Structure 1
Amino acid sequence: MKMKKYTAPTMVEAMAKVREDFGDDAVILSSNVTKTKGFLGLFSKRSVEVVASYDKTNDQRIYETPVRSAPQQLAKPESVERIQREMREIKQMLHDIKPSDRSFDKFPDELLPVLKKLQAQGLDHEYIMEIGNLIFNRMKQDKADYAEDQQMAIVHEWLKERLQDIPFGGISYQKKFINVLGPTGVGKTTTIAKIAARALLEERKKVGFITTDTYRIAAIEQLRTYANLLQAPVEIAYNEEDFHAAIEKLKDRDLIFIDTAGRNYKEAKFVDDLKNLIDFSLEMETYLVLSTTSKEQDMETIINRFEKLPIEKFIFTKTDETNSVGSMFNLMLKNRIGMAYFTDGQEVPEDLTEADVEKVLALLLEGDSHA
């Protein structure tokens, strides 16, 4: 019979080592959780100690025949049933074991809740590791553990610093045309109605609409409904000629909102169609609407498709339909494009928030879009 002691950060990793040496029929004699101090006596770490054995002679578990020669009795006969049950559970664990994310192993336990919160929010792994290193280094420098609110203050500081050169804020009211792009299903038409309603009610602007979404009758009717509530005209543009005719009809308006077709903009040809229809040389602000419920990789693909168009800022929708908004920060930081608005519901014009750094940080760190 062979016997060996294993030490690992978690039980899963300890079991992986046992399985590697003894296979699925190993017997766990004992297990114990220990906690040790780290650097300068601080930053405690938990570890698991497991003693396992394997009888090569007959592959019988040692608890089925009491080991009388052992210096200490490892298990009483009445505990055999319990141990066998535990062994079955551990054996199943060994079968189900998957490689674990070891990237946080370098950090103390006190830091893990904050890092895992950022991970759950979908913040890019590279950014999380930078934040973790920053907090850990400050803890070592001060020779003290930081409470979670102190750690979150450092996270806030790190993100704010990296967002300081990225533009935030809604439409400028300096340009006549507000062009809103985005794929199908992101809530583009409702978002346009919210922005237009704010312009009408708060800034007393005369607004009008042009829709190029001629593929869906429902989309046109939806925009007409909003326009009627705002007592604003709507023009439909099927082609470039119609587009310029609509501009002429709406020339008395202070702001003209352009509702483009929702298409699968992962395909380049639909972006080319937009270029051929809309005159981007006009006095125009262009915004790209993305849904926070979409996969970040898909959103990145769409952004890349629009890279040759003058995207002013992002508008992120459906923040009330997801618990993870880290993708907003990833996309802004990687593309150096800011945010104009984010939405958190269907009410017009209420569920629209003009973005600034503190509001979007609250959305990530506190889960409160209006902090």
Structure 2
Amino acid sequence: MKVKKYVASSMPEAMKQIRSELGNDAVILNSKIVYTGGFLGFFRKKNIEVIAAMDQVGKMEPKVKEKPKLTPVSQPVKNAPIAKPQVFTTPEKRQERPSGDLLNELAELKAMVKNMSATGQGGKSYPGPLEGLYLELKKQEIEPYICEELMAVLLEKWYTLGAASSAEEVKAWCKELMKERISDLPYGEISFTKKYVNVVGPTGVGKTTTLAKIAADSILKFHKKVALITTDTYRIAAIEQLKTYAKILAIPLEVCYNLDDFRKACETFKDYDVVLIDTAGRNFRNEQYVVELKQILDYDNEMETFLVLSLTSKQNDMEEIYKQFSSITINQFIFTKMDETSSYGAMYNMIDKYRIGAAYLTNGQNVPDDKVAASADVITKLILGDETK
């Protein structure tokens, strides 16, 4: 058996070296995390040390013995040693065969390596249940840097616990890691700590319907005195839609065309607990849209702003939308159209990258029912397939 030690930055990198030198039939005998370099205990680099072996049992071939050279009779060799009789042995006798337990262990290790040899997405491969989990994260479109950071921790835990944990256990580890990454951010329904709640976002993401759901909850669940303001004067249908909701909920609505109108509306609603503000949906690539928002709304007032994003949007579009609105303080995200997609990774990516929590997730048009209060736990379970939609 040929045994060799490898030190690499990650297990996939170590496996690449092992397969290159020892082939796909190599087995891993041991692995552990090691630290190299550094100065006075600082800046140490974490690596993984793997001891691998190539099982050569049954593959050894007897060496071909060279024929002895005959010495001519006319030239006798002086003091030639007397040849001892040669004893030929079979390969099995020359090398002691491993016991049954060792053979079983080698078979298990071989199976593990073959499993790791399966090519994963993007050239990555992981052992056992970790491979399936990695592919699920990729399917959910979790950012590559997040995947790599999660898998590094999971891989270390996998080997530390003996490389025998089930898929359910590995999935539970991942849930906790993902939840921990974003659990320090604000989540959940509006807190009513600020009087004005502003909803912004591009066209077609469901801002008006979402605002109606929040208004209904504020009245029916929290028993607040609620008023509505809309600045969406570009679409007559949007004003009529919000008027319909206001009539059903029996709450007042003011339409504002400029900053003076907005300040007058605020004065009119000074005795209300919460004022919900609907804004126009415009092309998010147009910077003038955000400029116009600042001209209509008084952001120096006591205001909380939610950016509404559709889960059917592309990740790049979500990022462009956020950057366009970043000149306004965004307190939380609201993610809509959860029922129209099966991929939720972009939501997690936005929260993790920009360190902004989420208030609601919406999953339909029904007011006020089709929404859930967001949390790190709900989002993580949704991504890993454990949350009802």
Query: TM-score interval w.r.t. the shorter chain?
Result: 0.7 to 0.9
User: Could you say which residue in structure 1 is the equivalent of 2:9?
Assistant: none
User: Could you say which residue in structure 1 is the equivalent of 2:271?
Assistant: 252
- Does residue 156 (structure 1) correspond to residue 225 (structure 2)? The answer is no
1:110 Cα deviation from its structure 2 partner: 3.4
TM-score by length of 1: 0.73
1:242 Cα deviation from its structure 2 partner: 1.4
- Does residue 324 (structure 1) correspond to residue 343 (structure 2)? The answer is yes
Letter in 2 for 1:148: A
User: Could you say which residue in structure 1 is the equivalent of 2:124?
Assistant: 104
Letter in 1 for 2:222: E
Letter in 1 for 2:123: S
Question: For 1:29-48, what per-residue CA distance to the aligned partner results, in whole angstroms no more than 9, with x for missing partners?
Answer: xxxxx876445454332599
Distance in 2 (CA, whole Å) between partners of 1:243 and 1:235 is 9
Identity across matched positions, percent:
44
Summarize the Cα distance change of 1:367–1:222 in structure 2 as closer, same or farther, 3 Å threshold: farther
Runs of 4+ in 1 over 3 A off after TM superposition: 34-42, 99-103
After TM superposition, the structure 1 = structure 2 runs for residues 86-235 of structure 1, keeping only pairs within 5 Å, are: 101-105=121-125, 107-235=126-254
Distance in 2 (CA, whole Å) between partners of 1:46 and 1:316 is 38
Summarize the Cα distance change of 1:110–1:357 in structure 2 as closer, same or farther, 3 Å threshold: closer
Distance in 1 (CA, whole Å) between partners of 2:347 and 2:276 is 24
- Does residue 44 (structure 1) correspond to residue 44 (structure 2)? The answer is no
Letter in 2 for 1:264: N
Q: 2:280 aligns with which of 252, 261, 269?
A: 261
Answer yes or no: is the 8 Å Cα contact 2:213–2:368 preserved in 1.
Answer: yes
Answer yes or no: is the 8 Å Cα contact 2:203–2:281 preserved in 1.
Answer: yes
Answer yes or no: is the 8 Å Cα contact 2:363–2:370 preserved in 1.
Answer: yes
TM-score by length of 2: 0.70
1:307 Cα deviation from its structure 2 partner: 1.6
1:258 Cα deviation from its structure 2 partner: 0.4
Larger Rg: 2
RMSD: 2.1
1:182 Cα deviation from its structure 2 partner: 0.8
1:251 Cα deviation from its structure 2 partner: 2.3
Give the length in aligned residue pairs: 287
Q: 1:315 aligns with which of 330, 334, 337?
A: 334
Distance in 1 (CA, whole Å) between partners of 2:116 and 2:199 is 54
Letter in 1 for 2:183: Q
User: Could you say which residue in structure 2 is the equivalent of 1:59?
Assistant: none
Q: Any idea what SS the aligned residue of 1:180 has?
A: strand
Where does structure 2 lack aligned partners over 5 or more consecutive residues? 1-23, 31-105
Question: For 1:285-340, what per-residue CA distance to the aligned partner results, in whole angstroms no more than 9, with x for missing partners?
Answer: 11100011101101101111122211110000011111110111100111010011
Answer yes or no: is the 8 Å Cα contact 2:196–2:302 preserved in 1.
Answer: yes
